[in-house]
Structure 1
Amino acid sequence: MREPESEQSQQSTAEDRHASWLELFFDLIVVAGTAQLAHLLHGRPSLPDVGLFILLFLAFWMIWMCFTVYGNVIGDRARTWTMLLGMLGMAVLAASVAGVHEGEHQQAFAITYVLLRLVARRAWRRSGKMLEEWPIGQFTAGVTPWLVSIWVDGPARYWLWAAGLAIDLWTTLSASARKRQADAEARRNERTGHSPTLTLAQVDPVHLGERLGLFTLIVLGESVVQLVDVASEAGWDHALEFSGLAAFLLLVSLWQLSLVHGYGGVPNLRESALPPRLVLFLHWVTNGTLTALAAGLGAAMEHRHGQLPTGGRWVLCASLSVYFVLAVVAALVPRRTAQTPGEWGRLLGRLLPPLVLSLAIGLFGGGLPTPVVVWSLVAAAGWSLLGHLARPERTGLPNDA
């Protein structure tokens, strides 16, 4: 493991290490991917539709993360063609989403996923580094079910994909990831007779936070695209203006909570408050909910003169509810100092009402006009934001420095 850097060195790294032009170009694929994934929830989505969205979003995000942490650790030595191959493959994944219910598109998605994981693995091995916080970059046990699924038809293919992703999540979140990496390296050395050549690497938290935040900005941008698409084809009346303003204010609030008062796109999270692997997990859930929210806002704009269909209302309210759950978790989990009951009460008073309100609208808001639903969610997000605006120097927890 690397020796701890001096405070001056860390400060220099934080000031100098930013996303490169190659990384920014690579991130453009997120624009296409989130747009295609959000379309899975258009219309009247059912539970199987939501399940398929979660599955495909996780797969897409997993590939993006394999190449993102590679660039984070390797820096300027990252191979351009490796990143461009990843980008091309992710474009194929995005193009496969629209017809993913068809066998040909399913096979294309599975084959491309397997190939991209192998490309990422080869890149990591060539680098001579191991990343404890993202072991699936080096180890591909979770790829095996995907490989088998290429020759399987029907719903079993989706279950194999889910099994592969579950293996990868367990590998990432398991506390024994370091031991498994050491054991695998030891077995490789026994077979070859060579001395260990891999070194344990660490992520650059400042650079990683920037890349994760850029992903979140792109996802929020998909919501803006949804709103503009509807407005460009609709008659401009008071209902459009009223609903569009509400949706815009909701996105502004989420931008503030995720990026101004959060870290890596996760609301209420502070840098270094959690291990990187947990930050990455929260980032996946956060951006999955924001992508679903984009689809929900698009549906709200389309039904602005009446009531949201049940499926559309639940996509909108459930995604925002999960977002508020994450905001609560990110604020409560990394506590470092004892809090008085009054401080806990003030914190929960800022975090829980938005969650309760968004859940209540999802459960009991079937008879509400669409603009009322959206403005209620604006009020929920605004309530969560008020505490930060009142005391902008304090984020995450009471008594934080």
Structure 2
Amino acid sequence: METEKKVAWSELFFDLVLVFAVTQVSALLHHDHGWSGTGRAVIAFVPIYWVWVGNTVYSNTHDAERPLNRIALFAAGLCGLMMALALPEAFGDRGLLFAGAYFCARLLLAALAHVPGRRPTPTPAVLSVLISGPLLLAGGVLDGGARIGLWALAAAVDLAAPRLTRRNMMRLDFESGHLAERFGLFVMIALGESIVAVGAPVASAPELGAGSLTAVAVAFTLVCSLWWVYFHLAASAVRHGLETAAVRADVARQVLSYGHLSLIASVIAVAVGMAEAVAHPGQRLPLGVAALLYGGCALYLATFGYTRWHLFRSWSVTRLVAAAVTLALLPPAALLPSLGALALLTALVTVLNLTELALVRTRGGLPGGPAPTTEPAPTP
């Protein structure tokens, strides 16, 4: 019997860079809550995410514990660290550092995956070296709108790369359990960053008032509820979907590469909103902050509708309804004190989890899901 591939210690060490990078992306949103700030944060996050995805897929299809692969992963981690260091001024004086570190990370991966004696085949890493990397480098030497435009185009190229190289990606033999666990760990990193974002400002405050402590407790409950949404049912569903898919590369692209980009970005948005709410529990949230908190949560829940469709060709009705209700509650939440807005959102996600738990127990699955066999069908 074939032994299941385990996550290597070197991969977990590589993830430590992502902890810092996610923190830096959150800092960008803290600095500017508006549409322009959100757009810049997304443009900066996509290359970081793509560096992680590329190395994760390579480690999934190769032996990550080989000395050469370990060293390459450490080198990619150094590139990711440089990108994270550049993030606070990525759209200012550190643009070239950000772009150069990304280009080096992708060039390293393309070289590592290349088989000597064979012609290079189109892969996302190769497209990054040929197109998106040079676009980032060109943007790094420009300023203002020109940089933003070129970097947005580079992000679009990276997002399209898995679809454009689908034929070659289909040849990869993915290890389903390992790949599902790796992306689940990235979600865990984002959730962990949300706890840091909530706790750090309060810990450094001169006094710990009852309002702040209550807000921290409510925010932590919200993080627990978001964890439950993913890890109670969805994590096993992703693995099940990968194992049973006719074309694993398609599921990996749609559910993992794209779906988890949305999930992680939404958690970062929620973390920024929670941090602002905890910092000023008795004041109203600015509309931009409320939009990050409620809009990020709505996107997080709605993404499960997208992933469920690509896994099982059915809709996650409960989560799509909860996402719609979350958006509907945004206007009245903006009129409440921050603690009240945070408590209202926490109550909504908690009710969703209790509802789904009851449905699974009484029906053996959620509405719109595949019929259970011997066990309730996993539900993303």
Q: Which one of the candidate residues 282, 285, 294 is aligned to 2:259?
A: 282
TM-score, length basis structure 1 = 0.81
Match of 2:323 in 1: 355
Identity %: 25
- Report the counterpart of residue 200 of structure 1 in structure 2: 171
**Does 1:217 find its partner at 2:206?**
no
Structure 1 gaps of 5+ residues are: 1-7, 183-198, 338-343
| Residue in structure 1 matched with residue 378 of structure 2 by the alignment | none
Q: Where does residue 101 of structure 2 map in the other structure?
A: 112
Report the AA paired with residue 375 of structure 1.
A
Q: Distance in 2 between matches of 1:82 and 1:203?
A: 20
> For the residues of structure 1 that align with 2:13 and 2:259, how far apart are their CA atoms?
24
Q: What are the superposed Cα offsets for residues 259-283 of structure 1, whole Å, 9 maximum, x if unpaired? A: 22113897x9954466111121101
For 2:51 and 2:11, how far apart are their aligned partners in 1?
14
The 2-side partners of 1:101 and 1:265 are apart by 39
2:376 aligns to what?
Answer: none
Structure of higher CA gyration radius:
1
Aligned pairs for 1:19-98 (under 5 A) are 19-42=7-30, 45-75=33-63, 76-77=65-66, 79-98=69-88
Aligned residue pairs, count: 358
Distance verdict in 2 for CA 1:123–1:44, change over 3 Å: closer
Q: Which amino acid aligns with 1:381?
A: V
Residue matched to 1:397: 369
Letter matched to residue 172 of structure 2: A
CA contact (8 A) 1:145 1:164 kept: yes
Contact 2:197–2:275 under 8 Å retained in 1: yes
2:311 partner SS: coil
Which residue among 141, 144, 151 is the counterpart of 1:154? 144
Whether the 8 Å CA contact 1:31–1:222 is kept in 2: the answer is yes
Q: Distance in 1 between matches of 2:311 and 2:230?
A: 17
In structure 1, what is the equivalent of residue 283 of structure 2?
Answer: 306
Paired residues of 1:124 and 1:130 also in contact (CA < 8 A): no
Q: Equivalents in 2 of 1:216, 1:292: separation in Å?
A: 13
| 8 A contact 1:259–1:265 mirrored in 2 | no
CA contact under 8 A between 2:95 and 2:141: conserved in structure 1? no
* Match of residue 386 from structure 1: 354
TM-score, length basis structure 2: 0.85
- The more displaced of 311-320 and 362-371 is 362-371
The answer to whether the Cα contact below 8 Å between 2:285 and 2:337 also exists between their aligned partners in 1 is yes
Alpha-carbon distance, 1:54 to partner: 0.6
Cα RMSD, aligned residues only: 2.9
- Kindly indicate whether the alpha-carbon contact (under 8 Å) linking 1:72 and 1:208 is maintained by their aligned counterparts in 2: yes
Task: Give the AA of the match of 1:153.
Answer: D
Aligned partners of 2:193 and 2:271 also within 8 Å? yes
Contact 2:180 2:235 (C-alpha < 8 Å) held by counterparts? yes
Residues 18 and 210 in structure 1, CA contact (< 8 A), matched pair in contact too: no
Map 1:219-368 → 2, pairs under 5 A:
219-234=190-205, 235-263=207-235, 270-272=241-243, 275-279=251-255, 280-335=257-312, 348=317, 350-368=318-336
Aligned-partner residue type, residue 79 of structure 2: G
Once the two structures are TM-superposed, the CA of residue 138 in structure 1 deviates from its matched residue by 3.7
Quote the Cα distance in structure 2 between the aligned partners of 1:41 and 1:378.
21
**3-state SS in 1 of match to 2:184:** helix
Looking at structure 2, the residues matched to 368 and 297 of structure 1 have their Cα atoms a distance apart, in angstroms, of 14
- 1:131, 1:382 → 2: CA distance? 50
| Mapped partners of 2:43, 2:336: distance in 1 | 31
Amino acid aligned to 2:17: I
What is the SS of the residue equivalent to 1:394?
coil
Q: Look up the match of 2:337.
A: 369
In structure 1, what is the Cα distance between the partners aligned to 2:141 and 2:36? 22
Which runs of 5 or more structure 2 residues have no equivalent in the other structure? 374-380
